[in-house]
Amino acid sequence: MLTLKILLAEDVAMVRGALTALIELEPDLKVVAAIENGTDIVPTALACQPDIAVIDIDLPGQDGLSAAAQLYEKLPACRTLILTNLSRAGTLRRALAAHVSGYILKDAPPERLASAIRNVAAGRRVIDPQLALSTWEGTQNPLSAREHDVLRLAADGSEPEEIAAALHLSVGTVRNYLTAIVTKLHARNRIDAIKTAYEAGWLP
């Protein structure tokens, strides 16, 4: 019997342990590495050469989708299966752009996780129906192209003065755009607006 080697990335120790135990109940699945930080995914994968990386979307250090995109570049033979919750359904678009092979809910039944791992290993794409439906029914991006550019630079850590220089705008205009963005996204502030846009899949 062919045994599939699994890299598991989950930051909550109890959940990580439970997932490892569940995966290893399957005779054809073996967890070769279980880590908690997103920045460790690529180096660990290069060291242990897993067949599948099962990655929580919310990780310290580096989020799961960014790590998955890097893993695709560095070790394309390793397929990725992202674990998420329904509130992050909008990030499905980011997942597809990151060449993720599977995208399922964290609270899916154990047998669904094992089945998803095997399907991903076989080259099939696995997307939880609830996540696909939530994405399909999700709200459209209310930001204009220019507002999106401003928010993208803000998300990268740029201050209004830097955004203004990069986009050839006045600082006042940039501040007006940021105010409009916060209002359109029903956010409390700029940080909240960035978080909302990421979770909706509107920022890469």
Does residue 143 have a pLDDT over 80?
A: yes
**What is the residue extent of each domain of the chain?**
4-136, 145-199
- CATH (residue range 4-136): 3.40.50.2300
* Per-residue pLDDT tens digits for 10-65: 999 999 999 999 999 999 999 999 999 999 999 999 999 999 999 998 899 988 98
The answer for residues whose C-beta is within 8 angstroms of residue 135's C-beta and 6 or more apart is: 89, 90, 92, 93, 201
User: d(Cα 58, Cα 64) in Å, to the nearest integer?
Assistant: 6
pLDDT band at 137 (very low <50, low <70, confident <90, very high): very low
The rounded Cα 169 to chain-centroid distance in angstroms is 32
pTM of structure = 0.67
How confident is the model over 69-84, as a mean pLDDT?
Answer: 93
CATH of 145-199, one of 3.40.50.1820, 3.40.350.10, 1.10.10.10, 3.30.70.100: 1.10.10.10
Task: Return phi, psi of residue 17, to 5°.
Answer: -65, -40
* Per-residue pLDDT tens digits for 150-190: 999 999 999 999 999 999 999 999 999 999 999 988 888 99
* Per-residue pLDDT tens digits for 98-109: 788 998 888 888
Q: Which helix (H) or strand (E) holds 115?
A: helix 110-121
Q: In the prediction, which pLDDT does 25 show? A: 93
